[in-house]
Amino acid sequence: MITHNFDYKRPATLQEALGLLSDGSSKVLAGGMSLIPLMKLRLAAPECLVDIGRIADLNYIREENGAIHLGATVTHYQLENSPLLRSKCPLLSETAAHIGDPMVRNRGTLGGSVAHADPASDYPASLLALEADVVIAGASGDRTVTFADFIVETFTTVLEPGEIVREIVVPVEHSSAGYCYEKVVQPASGFAIVGIALRIRKEAGRIAEAHIGVTGLASKAFRAVAAEQALMNGSADPAAAKNAGALIADGVDANSDLYASPEYRNHLARIHGARAIAIALSRAQ
């Protein structure tokens, strides 16, 4: 539980941070909820930490041009309690409320979590369902990728050395949309054994739009395409929820740990998928 020796730098601006990262020997520190434990276990040994936590213009939640822009260092607590998100993108607030414990939510950040790409973290399910974008800052300027493209594999993203997640962009939801984040918590770690995020829009009693993101189940979060298709254009009733829920784990090579085998995980995904769909349907107007 003792880290290797490392340097620590705390830039005041994003430009300064990008400059410090340019030699490739540094790692970005935001809330430290994932990186610091890895360093204490000596699974990570960066030579230098560049702490972006005090960069003022990375911490914002604002609505612009029909989308909500979330700065990288926005904490889970801020997302959970933001009036803007609660009214215009409640799925993300609900997801943030399920993360870790109050200490983790007070320190941990959105950007840090997505950049770490833990396959059992909560956000990926919702960010897939929301079709979020990730804005990445680098020495040669910003680039934007979809969240689906951002995550490559377990603990791997498209971030190049020297790049920083600048912001996440999510859509403004229509107030009639239904949503739900349903999570089965691993009792030791608090991470998701399975987490399912739902966005549903109804039109005239039928389902016009369905987005389902699933985390915790596989080596990376994914869209439950078969379940989405089963819902689309169907009637918005409990039977639909059950039928679509059954498809959530289709073809998935599930993870396992001491608390849940692959078979049980897939089962939980189906059961909780159906429950999440039912809740989202009941919330949709």
Q: How many CB atoms lie within 10 A of CB 250?
A: 14
What single-letter amino acid sits at 62?
A: R
Which C-beta is closer to other proteins: that of 136 or that of 196?
196
Which C-beta is closer to other proteins: that of 22 or that of 256?
256
Closest approach of other proteins to the CB of residue 252, in Å = 17
Q: What are phi and psi of 125, to 5 degrees?
A: -60, -50
Closest approach of other proteins to the CB of residue 260, in Å = 6
Closest approach of other proteins to the CB of residue 253, in Å = 18
Closest CA to 54 of 9, 24, 22, 115: 9
Closest approach of other proteins to the CB of residue 37, in Å = 9
Closest approach of other proteins to the CB of residue 147, in Å = 25
Which C-beta is closer to other proteins: that of 37 or that of 161?
37
Which C-beta is closer to other proteins: that of 55 or that of 198?
198
Residues that bind other proteins (CB under 8 A): 1-5, 41-42, 101, 184, 186-189, 257-261, 264, 267-268, 271-272
Phi-psi region of 268 (alpha: psi -120 to 50; beta: other; left: phi over 0): alpha
Q: What are phi and psi of 144, to 5 degrees?
A: -120, 130
Which C-beta is closer to other proteins: that of 42 or that of 62?
42
What single-letter amino acid sits at 236?
A: A
CA angle 165, 166, 170 (to 5 degrees): 95
Place of tokens 């059950």: 242
